[in-house]
A and B are shown apart, each in its own frame.
Chain A
Amino acid sequence: MVTALKERTTMEATVPVQQINRQENILSINNLEIFYGENRAVNGISMEIEKNAVTALIGPSGCGKSTFLRSINRMNDLIPGAFAKGEIIYEGLNILAENINVVALRKEIGMVFQRPNPFPKSIYENITHALKFAGIKKKSQLDEIVEESLRKAALWDEVKDRLEKSAFSLSGGQQQRLCIARTIAMKPTVILLDEPSSALDPISNAKVEDLIVDLKKDYSIIIVTHNMQQASRISDKTAFFLNGDLIEYDHTEKIFTNPSVQKTEEYISGRFG
């Protein structure tokens, strides 16, 4: 009798928790392993990525954080010999499965790279490039999305008078915000950022950081960074990677003030890495 009740309460208790989880988490990673040929770069990690939050991935070079990030929109498919085991669940689907439409997936999970990589086209065309491919052809609609996404990327005022100019005429920081703008223009749900401000000067860096915090309202953001201050300033949760293992994953405040693993503390206090 007592045990039955216990079981009931646990069941009742778990059901709502799961529902809340489903609303709160955008991605759940289960036992993910990533290999480059024989080498294992990521050793079976499991974590939940919160919706409308900034999740920072930190760790020394070669710890597997970028590899992990690139597996979320299947960019590792481009690397010969790379393959992943385990699960990344997004909207009930394992996106690592063979039959996933990678092109459609990448529209929902966008990515911004370490080095600004605008297309050798005009500023306007940089944003419309993917939109046109997605079937939006009407000039008025394109204009609208270009303005909206440039505004969101805090670039509109700087470029509105020279949209037809080459994207290469922009500064590095502006180019990176343009890259963010063209990702936003696709209206993704998740944005992956791979050290987006490491190649930028401090002022551009600050702008990009402000932008990321701002974007949290509409998107779920995962950012790889080598900059501890950046992680602590902008992220809600932080994951610490070391040698392909997920060492610790918690609220950013907890990680930076009172980490529960010795290694994490050593890393964030700059004792290695």
Chain B
Amino acid sequence: MNSKTADRLATGVFITIAIMITAILAGLFFYIFVNGFKYISFDFLTTPSSNVRAGGGIRDQLFNSFYILLITMLITVPIGVGGGIYMAEYAKPGKITDLIRTCIEVLSSLPSIVIGMFGLLVFVNTTGWGYTILGGALALTVFNLPTMVRTTEDAIRAVPQDLKEASLALGITHWHTIKTVILPTAFPAILTGAILAAGRVFGEAAALLFTAGLSTPRLDYTNWNPFSEQSPLNIFRPAETLAVHIWSVNTQGLIPDVEAVSSGSAAVLVISVLIFNLAARWIGRIIHKRITATK
């Protein structure tokens, strides 16, 4: 085989792989939409779920998913970015840094059900909170932190050394350089990491089963007092998310319309992830344009 044929063959193989990946993704979306789209209605999105009767909605689960996402990101992003900055800019090469890096890698490869069990032990039992949004968010933080640290570290290391030297050579301190030159330059890659982490929060069920629970109290959406039992904003209440809901109606649901609820929920979940993704990237692009003055 001459090199020209090999080159053509390689091109062909890669194109085939690309087509396969796209086809799988498209097929998956198609399946979920075809099965679930017909069940999505205004009612479905705005009524609470039912345990026994047909016709329950997913209002609370949808809200819970976004709310747990928000709380998780509020905890994950600052700690994760901070850890990434430390690993990329401050950690001296050596045994301790290697140990930290190994820990992060092990943590990121833990099965989510194990993190759920850990969460049950620490955030539910030891703290005495019971099943709570905060407990769920903390378990998801354990789950997401390694990825966040890793992507931030990689993003910062990808910033050209030239830029860092330019800033330091102007008599600017290391920290101010990180804040005003390195982080803005690394911002798009860090944002991508955060979006990936967020996607995992949306889809995660196992880690939440034992931490945020399988039920939601009766919520009153006009009650904005975060300390009230009925308030949706209360972070010390149990909260079933959409992904957990799909799992629970399928495994232990008593409702007659299991098929409709789970297919509809799956479609809503996928659409939510898509919308969240696109919105986050769009906002990210605007911010990046503003800080880098590019049009």
Contact = CB atoms under 8 A, between A and B. Distances in A.
Interface of A: 73, 75, 78, 80, 103-108, 110-111, 113, 115, 117-122, 125, 129-130, 133-134, 164-168, 179, 182-183, 186
Interface of B: 92-93, 160, 162-173, 176, 180-181, 184-185, 291-295
- Minimum-distance CB pairs A-B, first 8: A107-B171, A122-B293, A130-B170, A117-B162, A111-B169, A106-B171, A120-B292, A117-B166
B163 A119 contact: yes
Contacts of A182: 170
A129 B167 contact: yes
Contact of B168 (A75, A80, A165, A186): A75
A110 B170 contact: yes
Contacts of A129: 167, 170, 172, 180-181
Contact of B172 (A115, A117, A130): A130
Contacts of A104: 171
Contacts of A164: 293
A113 B170 contact: no
B292 A186 contact: no
Contact of A78 (B165, B180, B184, B293): B165
Contacts of B172: 103, 129-130, 133
B293 A106 contact: no
A107 B169 CA distance: 8
A165 B293 CA distance: 6
Chain B contact surface mostly: helix
Contacts of B176: 133
A119 B165 contact: no
Nearest to B163: A117
Contact of B171 (A119, A167, A168, A186): A186
A127 to B, nearest CB: 10
Given A80-B93, A106-B170, A120-B185, 10 more contacts: A73-B169, A78-B168, A113-B166, A115-B162, A117-B166, A119-B163, A122-B293, A133-B171, A179-B166, A182-B170
B292 A121 contact: yes
Given A119-B181, A121-B293, A122-B293, A113 B171 contact: no
Nearest to B172: A133
Contacts of B180: 129, 133
A118 B163 CA distance: 7
A255 B185 CA distance: 45
A113 B293 contact: no
B295 to A, nearest CB: 7
B294 to A, nearest CB: 5
A174 to B, nearest CB: 15
Nearest to A104: B171
